[in-house]
């Protein structure tokens, strides 16, 4: 395959990206959470190529990204609760898992042949423009090799997938910085992955939400124990630093890199994946990243979830 094109996030770049997608190509694009690796969700070959480019196991289903609620309702069955959640949180960093419609027209690879489909309506203007220009749902996992740190800048995508995908639309840094929250609504509401919408905000609408999923039988690969793994080892809740470690701080105090000197979780989420990459480069092969404690509330839940998986034993 020729070199991966870097397209600008202007009308010309969007039009070229949409044309590549219509031809079955793979195009990474910015969303407010992380960069997604997009392909035509109705095209078996394009979707198969997404799995191949990422080295992703086929049993891990993908999120279908849509331009609007009408496109979402052609893919899944929405009840009143689903409509209320969509009205409150879309567009935004929330993915809903809903019963798949028989006439959805998606490649079965998108859903890994499950009876449900994960759908997200992103808020990022470039993602929205691309979805409108393409005119149908785009399957889009995070645009990184499977198991590695997610991309929040176009250069992260190029580092991981250059030569394996047709193009990346460069929309700068992602504002939220952690992936969408995944809410199962095919039965009682279940939190399948903490993410950019704090679970507290969902509970204000839906009442208490159970945590779903099982690390050994993942229905969300974010639930595989080792994920988001940098090259270096990761030591969590590090209050003291050992000699030679790279210190990734949160809040005041000495650190090589600081997720948020002011202790702001929104800023910390936006910095998380970029700073994990920087810390990895500083630590070098065989090195260790010592991460300061991050409070387990609001976006801190998503941050700690990613950090725990980054620290988990590999393989």
Please give the residue ranges that form the binding site for Mg ion (CB under 5 A). 142
Is 95 an interacting residue with respect to ligand TXA (CB under 6 A)?
yes
Nearer to Mg ion, 16 or 49 (CB): 49
Report how far residue 87's alpha carbon sits from residue 81's, in angstroms, rounded to the nearest whole number.
Answer: 10
Which are the contacts of 6, defined by CB distance < 8 A and separation ≥ 6?
154, 158, 167, 168, 170
Is 107 an interacting residue with respect to ligand TXA (CB under 6 A)?
no
Nearer to ligand TXA, 31 or 107 (CB): 31
Crossing angle (nearest 10°) for helices 265-283 and 299-311: 20
CB of residue 254 to Mg ion, shortest distance in Å: 32
According to DSSP, the residues that pair with 94 across neighbouring strands are 181
Nearer to Mg ion, 198 or 222 (CB): 222
Residues 14-43 that bind ligand TXA (CB under 6 A): 31, 33-34, 36
Please pick, from the candidates 4, 128, 219, 271, the single residue that binds ligand TXA as defined by CB under 6 A: 219
Handedness of CA 127, 273, 149, 178 (dihedral sign): negative
Please pick, from the candidates 9, 41, 76, 182, the single residue that binds ligand TXA as defined by CB under 6 A: 182
Report how far residue 57's alpha carbon sits from residue 55's, in angstroms, rounded to the nearest whole number.
Answer: 7
Nearer to ligand TXA, 209 or 257 (CB): 209
Is 222 an interacting residue with respect to ligand TXA (CB under 6 A)?
yes
Q: Of the listed pieces 14-22, 214-222, 235-243, 279-287, which binds ligand TXA according to CB under 6 A?
A: 214-222
Write each residue from 248 to 287 as x if it is in contact with ligand TXA (CB under 6 A), else as -, in one continuous string: ----------------------------------------
Please pick, from the candidates 4, 128, 152, 180, the single residue that binds ligand TXA as defined by CB under 6 A: 180
**9 close to 30: Cβ distance less than 8 angstroms:** yes
| Residue 53, CA distances (Å) to 50, 59, 153, 224 in order | 5, 15, 18, 19
Q: Token pair of 49, please?
A: 């190529």
Nearer to Mg ion, 142 or 180 (CB): 142
Handedness of CA 66, 69, 75, 79 (dihedral sign): positive
Crossing angle (nearest 10°) for helices 265-283 and 154-161: 40
Phi, psi (deg, nearest 5) at residue 266: -65, -45
Specify the DSSP element, H or E, that contains 252. Answer: none
Nearer to Mg ion, 16 or 120 (CB): 120
Is 117 an interacting residue with respect to ligand TXA (CB under 6 A)?
yes
CB of residue 2 to ligand TXA, shortest distance in Å: 24
Please pick, from the candidates 140, 185, 279, 303, the single residue that binds ligand TXA as defined by CB under 6 A: 140
Report how far residue 57's alpha carbon sits from residue 116's, in angstroms, rounded to the nearest whole number.
Answer: 18
According to DSSP, the residues that pair with 193 across neighbouring strands are 182
Q: Which does 4 bind (CB under 5 to 8 A by kind): ligand TXA, Mg ion, none?
A: none
Nearer to ligand TXA, 180 or 258 (CB): 180
According to DSSP, the residues that pair with 180 across neighbouring strands are none
**230 close to 248: Cβ distance less than 8 angstroms:** no
User: Which residues of the shown chain bind ligand TXA in the complex (CB under 6 A)?
Assistant: 31, 33-34, 36, 60-63, 95, 97, 111, 114, 116-118, 120, 140-142, 179-180, 182, 192-193, 219-222
């Amino acid at each position: 395959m020729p070199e991966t094109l870097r397209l600008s996030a202007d009308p010309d770049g969007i039009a070229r990206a949409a044309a590549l997608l219509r031809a079955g190509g793979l195009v990474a694009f910015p969303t407010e959470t992380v960069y997604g690796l997009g392909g035509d969700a109705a095209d078996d070959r394009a979707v198969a190529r997404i799995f191949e480019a990422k080295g992703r196991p086929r049993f891990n289903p993908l999120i279908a990204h849509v331009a609007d609620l009408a496109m979402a309702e052609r893919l899944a069955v929405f009840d009143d609760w689903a409509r209320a959640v969509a009205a409150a949180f879309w567009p935004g960093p929330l993915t809903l898992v809903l019963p798949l419609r028989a006439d959805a027209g998606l490649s079965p690879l998108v859903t890994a042949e499950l009876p449900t489909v994960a759908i997200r309506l992103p808020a990022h203007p470039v993602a929205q423009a691309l979805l409108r220009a393409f005119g149908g749902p785009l399957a889009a996992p995070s645009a990184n090799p499977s198991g590695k740190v997610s991309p929040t800048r176009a250069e992260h995508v190029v580092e991981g997938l250059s030569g394996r995908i047709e193009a990346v639309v460069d929309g700068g840094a992602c504002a939220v910085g952690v992936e969408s929250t995944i809410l199962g609504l095919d039965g009682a509401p279940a939190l399948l992955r903490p993410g950019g919408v704090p679970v507290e905000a969902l509970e204000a609408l839906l009442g208490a939400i159970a945590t779903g999923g099982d690390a050994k039988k993942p229905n969300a690969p974010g639930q595989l124990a080792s994920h988001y793994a940098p090259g270096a080892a990761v030591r969590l809740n590090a209050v003291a630093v050992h000699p030679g470690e790279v210190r990734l701080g949160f809040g005041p105090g000495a650190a090589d890199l600081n997720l948020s000197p002011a202790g702001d979780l929104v800023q910390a989420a936006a910095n998380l994946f970029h700073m994990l990459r920087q810390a990895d480069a500083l630590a070098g092969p065989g090195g260790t990243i010592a991460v300061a404690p991050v409070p387990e509330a609001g976006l801190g839940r998503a941050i700690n979830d990613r950090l725990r998986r980054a620290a988990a034993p590999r393989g």
